[in-house]
Structure 1
């Protein structure tokens, strides 16, 4: 995405022709006909490509960009991104299978997660990917599996640092956490990795996600590099991989501004000579999920009924929190805020009203938009939720009330 588009409101990434939103060069009405049903998710491949290019343009050439599959594991999306990124990170055996179906070399696939089962660890060792170890149990289990299979496991050590990513929407490091190994316990585990003869690749240090504050990201990066340099003294082999996570956020709500990558790129450029000097074998990795895919996707649901209750207008749709838990506010919001929403087939409509958009579920939590000004909509109109390319379908309780699963399409 170019800098001009980055300054626009989220929905302005998608053009409008006449009265209808366009995605992937196709009108929303035509796309809905092509999919054949609502609700559905649609992802724009041109926006995915532009976002990867934007990251590449802003960070030093030496930085490797990995995609975190958990953000959106749709196989077509992962396949598309696999042609542009340097590696993939997975968090389950299911995601591992998707990653192994891409052209990415298994040596550039990593597997993180706090509760990897013995079966998952066995599959990862056999596939030759790099495991981010997060506990003594995982270390012992991987050693046993490697011996049984006659394969030397490729491993990194995931560290729970003694700092967090300030201003982040989700803090993944600092304090007591289920993720990674507390930094004070890391030297002992690094010694064990060496004693067990594993193929040690490096360190995975991830402190938080969904941050729109460039200064906070740069501070966390500096502390990450400093920690890696300290731990290198205990490493059984040269550090060849240093995954510093990402943390890059996207704007969802009014008042939030897009993250400016330019100072972050300059900050990384400043660190490169130091890292080349002290960790000459290290491949520095930024791992991005939401930032690459979040703004490239929309969720589309159809108005089934228009209803008034004591002066309030409700648009009741065929989709809701069972498909898009985050938009309903039930995926971590303390105070519910509306995602950017529009009537996608009435983008130029001047007649507007304040409405509440709900889904079909038997719970008042099933909100898509609460008391939001939209174009006047009638049954059959298409409600669009923007910023829906990440943590949408697979982060939602699709089995609730046994409604059909929505469609997904990459256009």
Structure 2
């Protein structure tokens, strides 16, 4: 299988003198500065460019929030906070990182089932929006608010009665641990009024990692229609309608970048009606992977090169314990290769190899039977599309190897 997807990663990360450059720095120099491998590197210029291009494509009036779970590195979050309109967190630790950026707490939301009592208190005390995921969680939040002498700001996370077609990960529709079933929401809204909570609006999230504009358009159509129906039962006017995200990025051969134009046209068609039916409500798109996924790489070093019964293996000091998604164990049904390169040897004679890590499991596979420039011990292996769901989505404690570092360049 070829190392290059439809859109070669070097479209974003240029090469000079046969060496990959990140943030204007040659990979070999960057590795020397970091002082160790493996490491993750994120390019701030690419992060900024992605937000700029997305804002240019979407109609005016759409607010953009960053879902920190995609990459909660504090330096990345700080950079993103200066580019987007809000942040979404999924834990108390992420909340502390978000608050440290100086983002207005009213622009921070907290989603996720199973919030602890401590997390509820942190969220209420800081004045952020709690995306309530169940009727029990609503009552718990109200109790915590009473104990603190504060009026919790709450939004209802809705589990819609539809799901995003062709989604890499379905987060809504059917039975789900996420959100409150749409048919139960009217009663929940009535209860919010009885409890005199500060009602913010709806968070309707249906899926992620989608590359088909027509599927996202259909989901948006249904999301707006559902929001209008539910708003008739709201205890007060909506301030926010979060329509989720779902925008995907290409990882594998045969995949193309998401065409934003038809999605933007459809949103522009909806906004006048939304302004009429939900006056004063901000329409929010919340994205994680789409904003940061293509701006990061994972870099490890070849520590051995061996041939076993005619097949060549590059054994590296990195692996699934650092980058579970690249190994195929973060949701892939049939394993596919992420785009990979030999970062200090981008051209020259090529060979078919498998890139593996140091772990005692055959699952420790970063690239299987890939056509790469002939590598030597000491060369740098680069895994592209690694800006999202990398280090913090990986079992770093497995076999007790050292953790990689992260840098923003």
TM-score band, normalised by shorter chain: over 0.9
- 2:81 and 2:57 map into 1 onto residues whose CA distance is 20
- 1:338 and 1:7 map into 2 onto residues whose CA distance is 13
Match of 1:373? 371
Structure 1 position 319, deviation (Å)? 0.3
Q: Is the 8 A contact 2:293 2:388 kept in 1?
A: yes
- 1:55 and 1:342 map into 2 onto residues whose CA distance is 27
Residue 257 in structure 1 maps to residue 256 in structure 2: yes
Q: Is the 8 A contact 1:70 1:289 kept in 2?
A: yes
Q: Is the 8 A contact 2:133 2:156 kept in 1?
A: yes
Match of 2:142? 143
Residue 231 in structure 1 maps to residue 230 in structure 2: yes
Residue 383 in structure 1 maps to residue 381 in structure 2: yes
Question: Which ranges of 4 or more aligned residues in structure 1 deviate by more than 4 Å?
Answer: none
- Could you tell me which of 355, 358, 379 is aligned with 1:357? 355
Q: Is the 8 A contact 2:353 2:369 kept in 1?
A: yes
Structure 1 position 139, deviation (Å)? 0.4
Match of 2:165? 166
Secondary structure of the 2:168 match is strand
Match of 1:317? 316
Match of 2:198? 199
Match of 1:339? 338
Match of 1:406? 404
Q: Is the 8 A contact 1:210 1:249 kept in 2?
A: yes
Residue 59 in structure 1 maps to residue 91 in structure 2: no
Q: Is the 8 A contact 1:11 1:386 kept in 2?
A: no
Unaligned runs of 5+ in 2: none
Secondary structure of the 1:168 match is coil
Residue 188 in structure 1 maps to residue 155 in structure 2: no
Q: Is the 8 A contact 1:316 1:360 kept in 2?
A: yes
Report Cα offsets for 1:88-144 as digits up to 9, x if no partner: 000000100000001210000000001111110011000100000010111010000
Match of 1:3? none
- 1:389 and 1:113 map into 2 onto residues whose CA distance is 22
Match of 2:132? 133
Structure 1 position 12, deviation (Å)? 2.4
Count of aligned pairs between the two proteins: 405
- 1:332 and 1:266 map into 2 onto residues whose CA distance is 31
Q: Is the 8 A contact 2:6 2:253 kept in 1?
A: no
- 2:384 and 2:238 map into 1 onto residues whose CA distance is 40
Secondary structure of the 2:232 match is helix
Report Cα offsets for 1:213-234 as digits up to 9, x if no partner: 0110011001000000000110
Secondary structure of the 1:204 match is strand
Secondary structure of the 1:211 match is coil
1:241-320 pair list within 5 angstroms: 241-320=240-319
Structure 1 position 7, deviation (Å)? 7.7
Structure 1 position 13, deviation (Å)? 1.1
Residue 33 in structure 1 maps to residue 28 in structure 2: no
Report Cα offsets for 1:63-107 as digits up to 9, x if no partner: 100000000000000000100100000000010000000121000
1:15-94 pair list within 5 angstroms: 15-94=14-93
- 1:84 and 1:332 map into 2 onto residues whose CA distance is 30
TM norm structure 1 = 0.98
- 2:11 and 2:367 map into 1 onto residues whose CA distance is 19
- 1:194 and 1:211 map into 2 onto residues whose CA distance is 36
Report Cα offsets for 1:168-189 as digits up to 9, x if no partner: 1000000000000001111111
Q: Is the 8 A contact 1:11 1:340 kept in 2?
A: no
Unaligned runs of 5+ in 1: 1-5
Structure 1 position 10, deviation (Å)? 2.8
TM norm structure 2 = 0.98
- 1:68 and 1:106 map into 2 onto residues whose CA distance is 15
- 1:183 and 1:42 map into 2 onto residues whose CA distance is 41
Q: Is the 8 A contact 1:83 1:103 kept in 2?
A: no
Match of 2:119? 120
Q: Is the 8 A contact 2:6 2:255 kept in 1?
A: no
- 2:162 and 2:52 map into 1 onto residues whose CA distance is 31
- 1:262 and 1:97 map into 2 onto residues whose CA distance is 36
Report Cα offsets for 1:149-170 as digits up to 9, x if no partner: 1100000000000000111100
- 2:391 and 2:150 map into 1 onto residues whose CA distance is 36
Report Cα offsets for 1:247-288 as digits up to 9, x if no partner: 000000000000011111111111011000100121000000
- 1:251 and 1:39 map into 2 onto residues whose CA distance is 24
